[in-house]
Structure 1
Amino acid sequence: MTIKQLTSAIIEAACDLWRRGDIVAIPTETVYGLAADAEQDAAVAKIFTVKGRPQFNPLILHVSSLEQLADYVEVTPLLTKAAAAFWPGPLTLVLKRKSGAKLSYLVTAGLDSVAVRLPAHPIAQELIQAYGKPLAAPSANKSNSISPTSAEDVAASLGNDVPLIIDGGQTRIGLESTIVDLTSETSTILRPGGVTFEDLNKVFGQMRYAEVGAAITAPGMLKRHYAPSIPMRLNVLEKQANEVMLGFGNVEGDLNLSEQGDLGEAAANLFRMMRLLDNPVNRAIAVAPIPYWGLGIAINDRLSRAATREI
């Protein structure tokens, strides 16, 4: 395992690893991704093996342009409209897979749809452009554990299983992308994330959320996900003995997601602070209430999945 800053030599090293069917951890604006050539079955299978990820859980296809994407999905007016409004950025779209597309069915978990996005991080863009093909990339951590927001987080979670980690610094958003299903007439939010419900409504009209227990058609829909090694209690105003407290706004804690009550700052800090408090000497992590609006919806989604004991 090697952590490297981006240079022309490292770009070529990453592309060489991908051509040979290996994996590379890369930064995006949301969280770090564990990337492989999306057309190679063995390469994509390595992602699942290294993460310990169930193969019924689809991956996200990362592209460098809408033109590149046209070889893999059915391009519709709604896709073009969404791309113009939100790409590059933290929005993943579930689209109909194009017949005959050279895409590993492991990426889509055998479904006829595929989740795709165009990341905004300049390093991610440069790497995908240099490789010339889409990359399949879930978060670069062990399955169901806290998502990585730095190169050091990736190393701590996956260690020597990843031959190259490209350091892009701390991620800007710190939460995974919003996922919207565009495969039917009604646009549905499958996972809240870096693009808010309010912003989506401005482009798509009235949105709706997927029903609880809906079939898994995109990443981030498992009941338990993003979880620390110790239990979490949510909507807590005062911690108990042997607990550590993750505060917000005026609710103080051992760490505070945002003393000013800024949801953007809280989102960026969430996974990093969860990692800092995730210590087996503590009985649990207590978390202050987070408002249910804007990015708070995505933050509460991650916290509820982290806190549940259901699989």
Structure 2
Amino acid sequence: MADPAPRILPYGEAAIAEATAAIAHGDVVATPTETVYGLAGDATRSDAVAAIYAAKGRPSFNPLIVHVADLAAAERIAVFDDRARGLATRFWPGPLTLVLPLRADAGIARAVTAGLDTIALRVPGHRAMQALLAACGRPLAAPSANASNAISPTRAEHVAASLGARVALIIDDGACAAGLESTIVHDGVILRPGPLSSEALGLPAFRVETEGEITAPGQLASHYAPRKPLRLDVASRKSDEWLIGFGEVMGDATLSASGDLIEAAAKLFDALHRADASDRAGIAVAPIPDHGIGAAINDRLRRAAHR
């Protein structure tokens, strides 16, 4: 028997009210952000945070990103130095996560940080997450709304296919604009590339891939993975592969025929979902330039191909 389908509501007052009630009960809900769909729960409640880890099948050593309404709310949870405050002032609301020292009186459930003395914070720019934060009046832990290590969701149907009834409610507000998880910064170092490039942030490019000690979200070397084997930098597919094209390399699906990296980022995970659901045995992806947001696209593709 198939798993029961999750409840999906279009974004609006009714959806926000129902999601708020579910979160107040300790349940988790999926909501869009400008990056990917997030699986949101009350970051101050241990039972709600445990429900997030359980729904995703996420390892307990992998900390969660906490979403807050504004910089003032963030400063009640973490200690900001001048550099971090400058980044927050310039790029919040937006796809930037800052890893900062956790205040002793922050009231955040210990499982959120996986026992670390730092916390990952973000002020989202999407109307649905901002409305939910305002209605709940609480910080919301919200990793991507998919099973751990699977392809990230940029549409409500991706969440439904990955999590099913493990999520109480999905708020549907269409496709995510950025399509990649937020850029993560700690002490002036980029731990995970994202929609905000090193050039935009004015920080040196740096990428951490580790299967050992985890110091912030987004550091696992194997992540964002389809079920099928994935080949990168492919100009010509094999007969049993679904080709994701870019630029002059046309495929079964194309991230951007014009070679626009921003368009490619927005389409990446949706294309991977389509390829994984196809009748082909494998997936191939055309070469992607490694500058600007292309560095973040290639980061996700390398992790998806890592087995």
Please state how far the C-alpha of 1:12 moved relative to its aligned partner.
2.1
Please state how far the C-alpha of 1:100 moved relative to its aligned partner.
2.2
Amino acid corresponding to residue 258 of structure 1 in structure 2: S
Which secondary structure does the structure 1 equivalent of 2:251 belong to? coil
Aligned twin of 2:217: 219
Residue 196 (1) aligns with residue 194 (2): no
Aligned twin of 1:3: 8
CA 1:136/1:211 → structure 2, altered by over 3 Å: closer, same or farther? closer
Count of residues in Structure 1 that have an aligned counterpart in Structure 2: 301
For residues 134-187 of structure 1, what are the alpha-carbon distances to aligned partners after superposition, in whole Å with 9 as ceiling and x for unaligned?
1000000000000000111111111111111011110000000000003xxxx1
Aligned twin of 1:303: 301
Residue 74 (1) aligns with residue 79 (2): yes
CA distance in structure 1 between the aligned counterparts of 2:30 and 2:208, rounded to whole angstroms = 32
Which secondary structure does the structure 2 equivalent of 1:209 belong to? coil
CA distance in structure 2 between the aligned counterparts of 1:6 and 1:258, rounded to whole angstroms = 28
- 8 Å contact 2:209–2:221 — kept in the other structure? no
CA distance in structure 1 between the aligned counterparts of 2:124 and 2:288, rounded to whole angstroms = 27
Residue 110 (1) aligns with residue 108 (2): no
Which secondary structure does the structure 2 equivalent of 1:143 belong to? coil
Q: 1:175 aligns with which of 180, 186, 196?
A: 180
Aligned twin of 1:154: 159
Please state how far the C-alpha of 1:76 moved relative to its aligned partner.
2.3
- 8 Å contact 1:61–1:135 — kept in the other structure? yes
- 8 Å contact 1:26–1:165 — kept in the other structure? yes
Residue 207 (1) aligns with residue 204 (2): yes
Please state how far the C-alpha of 1:77 moved relative to its aligned partner.
1.8
Which secondary structure does the structure 1 equivalent of 2:16 belong to? helix
TM-score, structure 2 as length reference: 0.95
- 8 Å contact 1:30–1:174 — kept in the other structure? yes
CA 1:254/1:208 → structure 2, altered by over 3 Å: closer, same or farther? closer
Aligned twin of 2:269: 271
CA 1:27/1:194 → structure 2, altered by over 3 Å: closer, same or farther? same
Which secondary structure does the structure 2 equivalent of 1:189 belong to? strand
Which secondary structure does the structure 1 equivalent of 2:41 belong to? strand
For residues 203-245 of structure 1, what are the alpha-carbon distances to aligned partners after superposition, in whole Å with 9 as ceiling and x for unaligned?
xxx4251554373222221111001110000011111121111
Aligned twin of 2:281: 283
For residues 234-283 of structure 1, what are the alpha-carbon distances to aligned partners after superposition, in whole Å with 9 as ceiling and x for unaligned?
01111112111111000111111100000000000000011111137322
Paired residues for 1:82-121 under 5 Å: 82-121=87-126
- 8 Å contact 2:78–2:102 — kept in the other structure? yes
CA distance in structure 2 between the aligned counterparts of 1:289 and 1:266, rounded to whole angstroms = 12
CA 1:211/1:43 → structure 2, altered by over 3 Å: closer, same or farther? closer
Amino acid corresponding to residue 43 of structure 2 in structure 1: A
Aligned twin of 1:243: 241
The alignment yields a C-alpha RMSD, in angstroms, of 1.3
Please state how far the C-alpha of 1:9 moved relative to its aligned partner.
3.0
- 8 Å contact 2:242–2:278 — kept in the other structure? no
Which secondary structure does the structure 1 equivalent of 2:106 belong to? coil
CA distance in structure 2 between the aligned counterparts of 1:212 and 1:299, rounded to whole angstroms = 15
Q: Which runs of 5+ in 1 are unaligned?
A: none
Aligned twin of 2:3: none
CA distance in structure 2 between the aligned counterparts of 1:106 and 1:66, rounded to whole angstroms = 23
Percent identical residues: 51
Which secondary structure does the structure 2 equivalent of 1:286 belong to? strand
- 8 Å contact 1:189–1:210 — kept in the other structure? yes
CA distance in structure 1 between the aligned counterparts of 2:193 and 2:213, rounded to whole angstroms = 16
CA distance in structure 2 between the aligned counterparts of 1:143 and 1:215, rounded to whole angstroms = 18
Residue 255 (1) aligns with residue 256 (2): no
CA 1:233/1:215 → structure 2, altered by over 3 Å: closer, same or farther? same
- 8 Å contact 2:100–2:118 — kept in the other structure? yes
